[in-house]
């Protein structure tokens, strides 16, 4: 546990020292959502209908934007390779980096979502469902995205390849989350959607760190 918390503390310090890398996904998230009313329609009825999909697609793209940086700095300075040879469990190191990524990317998006929901004319129950869907769904995006980041860590232009590898895995989360928000906006019961997202999160926690650790070792061996 001490090792896990130390990794998280280290990653957070690195993130806050590089403020641009920290703010880019959040600014991208806000800008994309702000541009949709200009490109589609400022009509309240239209924005209320497409709002859940807009916010979730923007969150997905913002996560992808930051995934290439997950292992990049450690790979460039050689510390990532040293981590694989250290006596500390590499799986815990990887999990700590993934949790840190969510804390600096997914959590701010989640906290900002109620304000953006109001901008898209979503009602109170819809905004609540949106917040819960992002709270459960964004950790899944970080966990699955880490797999793609681990497989492309040695490539110069790995960002596009991460999107190609990971976007198909994001589709079930996108479908469930938007359906959950739409059900919430209609004052329906979205417990089933939450349970499915929770099941995907539990499965991702169990498998994604292991797949990521193996992916890093495969990338470093080539």
pLDDT of 166 > 90? The answer is: no
Confidence of residue 158 (pLDDT cuts 50, 70, 90): low
pLDDT digits over 177-198, tens only? 999 999 999 988 999 999 999 9
Q: Does residue 171 surpass a pLDDT of 60?
A: yes
pLDDT bin (cut points 50, 70, 90) of residue 220 is confident
The structure's pTM equals 0.90
Note the pLDDT tens digit of each residue in 44-93: 888 888 888 999 999 999 988 888 778 877 777 777 777 777 777 888 88
Q: What is the mean pLDDT of residues 107-122?
A: 90
Least reliable range by pLDDT among 12-16, 120-124, 165-169, 203-207: 12-16
| pLDDT, tens digit (0-9, with 9 covering 90-100), for 132-142 | 999 999 999 99
Average pLDDT, the chain: 86
Euclidean distance between CA atoms 173 and 197, whole angstroms? 7
**3-class SS string, the chain:** CHHHHHHHHHHHHHHHHCHHHHHHHHHHHHHHHHHHHHHCCCCHHHHHHHHHHHHHHHHHHHHHHHHCCCCHHHHHCCHHHHHHHCCCCHHHHHHHHHHHHHHHHHHHHHHHHHHHHHHCCCCHHHHHHHHHHHHHHHHHHHHHHHHHHHHCCCCCCHHHHHHHHHHHHHHHHHHHHHHHHHHHHCCCCCHHHHHHHHHHHHHHHHHHHHHHHHHHHHHHCC
Predicted local confidence at residue 222, as pLDDT: 63
Residue 12 pLDDT: 83
pLDDT for residue 142: 93
> Is 100 a residue whose pLDDT tops 70?
yes
What proportion of the chain, given as a percentage, has pLDDT over 90? 36
pLDDT for res 91: 84
Segment 24-28 shows an average pLDDT of 87
In this prediction, residue 205 has a pLDDT band, given cuts at 50, 70 and 90, of very high
Contact 137, 199 (CB under 8 A): no
Instruction: Using alpha carbons, list the distances in angstroms from residue 191 to 130, 136, 183.
Output: 13, 12, 10
The residue-averaged pLDDT of 151-176 equals: 81
| pLDDT at site 157 | 63
Please determine, for residue 15, whether its predicted confidence score (pLDDT) is greater than 90. Answer: no
């Amino acid at each position: 546990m001490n090792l896990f918390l130390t990794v998280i503390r280290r990653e957070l310090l690195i993130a806050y020292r590089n403020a641009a890398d920290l703010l880019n996904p959040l600014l991208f998230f806000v800008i994309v959502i702000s541009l949709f009313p200009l490109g589609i329609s400022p009509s309240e009825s239209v924005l209320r209908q497409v709002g859940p999909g807009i916010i979730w697609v923007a969150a997905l793209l913002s996560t992808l934007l930051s995934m290439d940086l997950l292992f990049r700095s450690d790979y460039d300075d050689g510390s990532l390779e040293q981590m694989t040879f250290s006596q500390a469990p590499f799986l815990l190191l990887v999990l700590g980096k993934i949790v840190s990524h969510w804390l600096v990317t997914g959590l701010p998006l989640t906290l900002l979502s109620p304000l953006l929901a109001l901008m898209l004319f979503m009602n109170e129950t819809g905004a609540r469902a949106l917040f819960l869907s992002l709270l459960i769904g964004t950790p899944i995006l970080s966990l699955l995205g880490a797999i793609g980041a681990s497989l492309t860590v040695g490539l110069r232009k790995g960002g596009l390849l991460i999107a190609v590898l990971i976007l198909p895995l994001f589709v079930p989360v996108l479908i469930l989350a938007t359906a959950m928000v739409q059900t919430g906006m209609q004052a329906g019961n979205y417990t089933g959607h939450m349970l499915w997202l929770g099941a995907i999160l539990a499965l991702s926690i169990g498998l994604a760190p292991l797949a990521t650790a193996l992916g890093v070792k495969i990338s470093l061996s080539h």
